[in-house]
């Protein structure tokens, strides 16, 4: 296998990231030690094909006009999005309070009708014009009582449906807001905190509490339709996976902090099947945490799900039977495009995998730090496929562009602060949200 020589690599900021060199000046990524494209500690992640024997083809990029919820849509499947080959920064804006020791910025923006909607670490919602980042309105979402019930990690996530903005908060409330004004339409209060973005489609809102209770609400009235309680886990990850919902098949897939993945009949709440995404193999100290933070994906009759504790599985949507599985763990939603699925694992390896077989086509290690031995406290999110580039962000401020065809790192940029949520793409615009609640928009 031919390895990419990072020590000799000279890249050209975001311009090289998107194939137009010279726009932002040259910047060299300095790395200590030899970096290779395959996990050194595990041959299980080595490609199953000889280099050059399998040529990846992808669907043509298309312009998506919206990014209505976490993962783009309720299926968490967006395929190949269009973005220019030479993106330029068009605006940046502060969207409130960022992460701190007490609160975390958990939510990526949503985009609908040429408006960007954000929720910050203090549960303040803002609407900005997509074209220039100018604020249209803001709304503070407050707890019922200003006492000990106001817990940390107050802002959770957003979704847009039928010109309404749905917001979940860490103090246990769900809001429906008028998209044009931010005026509250209804509010649903739950006793347990909600640290996961809602999933909305077909007049149904699905929210999930930190106590592993999945609740279905009527999107028009906020009335509870049904709920299902799963056992809780003593130690879990911050945040979690938003449910995947297919309204045409009437199925919702939810992931829990126990490592369980469950399918429900969306209209009634009846449980269809359950499976556990945990492995006995432990690649690092945190691998014993069983939670699922990566959003599950519904791709026709197949569910793709990635557990933190080293299981990536393709599962039959109707029966729950596993089609294949690999010992791969991660916290970020995989990306499905055409016949392939792209996965970022806990050790910063980005893999291209055949959807049908689970076989690895290529595997590239993403160099998220200058010091190969010191990745403690660093994590990465993505990938997002836009304009023939896989975009991966890191919590220490890097954005990498990687070829979806062969795994070669094309380039990178650094941002003003770390990025702990995946990029968002809509109308050819790419939005990066930093931990200090700054949005940088490129087009």
- Report whether 43 contacts 37 (CB < 8 A): no
Residue 319 lies in a domain: yes
Residue 183 lies in a domain: yes
Residue 191 lies in a domain: yes
Residue 348 lies in a domain: yes
pLDDT at 190: 92
pLDDT at 6: 33
How many domains is the chain partitioned into structurally?
1
Q: Residue 12: which CATH number?
A: 2.130.10.10
pLDDT at 420: 83
Residue 420 lies in a domain: yes
- Report whether 309 contacts 277 (CB < 8 A): yes
pLDDT at 51: 84
The total number of residues written for the chain in this structure = 443
Residue 275 lies in a domain: yes
pLDDT at 239: 55
**Average pLDDT of adjacent 10-residue blocks, the chain of 443 residues:** 33 36 36 38 77 92 97 98 88 84 78 96 94 97 62 76 96 95 96 92 96 96 96 58 97 94 98 86 50 93 92 97 95 97 95 98 88 70 96 91 95 86 95 91 92
pTM of the predicted model over 0.85: yes
Residue 1 lies in a domain: no
Per the structure, the complete domain to which residue 227 belongs is given by 6-442
Residue 74 lies in a domain: yes
- Rounded to whole angstroms, how far apart are CA atoms 105 and 172? 16
- Rounded to whole angstroms, how far apart are CA atoms 119 and 96? 8
Please give the backbone phi and psi of residue 334, each rounded to the nearest 5 degrees, phi first.
-65, 170
**Who's near 379: CB < 8 A, 6+ residues apart?**
331, 394, 395, 420
Task: Tell me how far CA of residue 372 lies from CA of 37, 213, 283, in angstroms.
Answer: 13, 39, 16
User: Quick one: which of 400, 392, 402 has its CA closest to 362?
Assistant: 402
- Rounded to whole angstroms, how far apart are CA atoms 228 and 426? 34
């Amino acid at each position: 296998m031919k390895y990419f020589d990072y020590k000799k690599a000279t890249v050209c900021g975001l311009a090289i990231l998107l194939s137009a060199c010279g726009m932002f000046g040259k910047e060299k990524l300095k790395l200590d030690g030899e970096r290779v494209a395959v996990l050194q500690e595990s041959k299980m992640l080595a490609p199953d094909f000889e280099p050059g024997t399998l040529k990846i083809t992808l669907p043509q990029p298309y312009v998506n006009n919206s990014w209505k919820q976490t993962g783009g849509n309720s299926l968490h499947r967006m395929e190949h999005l269009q973005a220019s080959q030479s993106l330029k920064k068009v605006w940046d804006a502060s969207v409130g309070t960022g992460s701190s020791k007490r609160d975390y910025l958990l939510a990526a923006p949503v985009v609908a009708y040429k408006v960007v909607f954000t929720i910050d670490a203090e549960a303040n919602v803002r609407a900005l014009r997509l074209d220039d980042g100018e604020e249209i309105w803001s709304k503070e979402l407050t707890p019922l009582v200003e006492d000990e019930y106001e817990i940390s990690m107050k802002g959770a996530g957003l979704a847009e449906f039928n010109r309404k903005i749905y917001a979940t908060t860490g103090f246990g409330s769900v809001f429906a807001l008028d998209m044009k004004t931010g005026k509250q339409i209804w509010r649903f209060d739950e006793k347990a905190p909600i640290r996961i973005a809602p999933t909305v489609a077909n007049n149904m809102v699905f929210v999930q509490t930190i106590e592993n209770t999945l609740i279905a609400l009527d999107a028009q009235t906020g009335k509870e339709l049904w709920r299902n309680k799963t056992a809780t886990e003593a130690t879990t990850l911050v945040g979690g996976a938003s449910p995947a919902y297919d309204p045409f098949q009437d199925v919702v897939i939810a992931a829990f902090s126990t490592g369980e993945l469950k399918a429900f009949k969306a209209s009634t709440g009846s449980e269809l099947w359950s499976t556990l995404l945990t492995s006995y193999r432990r690649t690092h100290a945190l691998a014993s945490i069983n939670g699922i933070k990566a959003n599950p994906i519904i791709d026709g009759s197949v569910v793709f799900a990635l557990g933190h504790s080293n299981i990536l599985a393709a599962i039959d949507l109707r029966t729950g039977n596993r089609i294949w599985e690999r010992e791969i763990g991660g916290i970020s939603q995989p990306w499905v495009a055409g016949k392939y699925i792209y996965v970022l694992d806990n050790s910063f390896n980005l893999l291209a995998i055949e959807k049908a077989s689970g076989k690895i086509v290529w595997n590239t290690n993403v160099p998220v730090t200058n010091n190969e031995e010191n990745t403690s406290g660093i994590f990465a999110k993505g990938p997002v496929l836009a304009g023939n580039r896989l975009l991966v962000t890191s919590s220490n401020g890097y954005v990498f562009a990687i070829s979806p065809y062969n795994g070669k790192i094309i380039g990178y940029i650094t941002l003003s602060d770390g990025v702990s949520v995946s990029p968002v793409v809509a109308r050819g615009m790419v939005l990066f949200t930093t931990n200090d609640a700054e949005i940088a928009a490129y087009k």
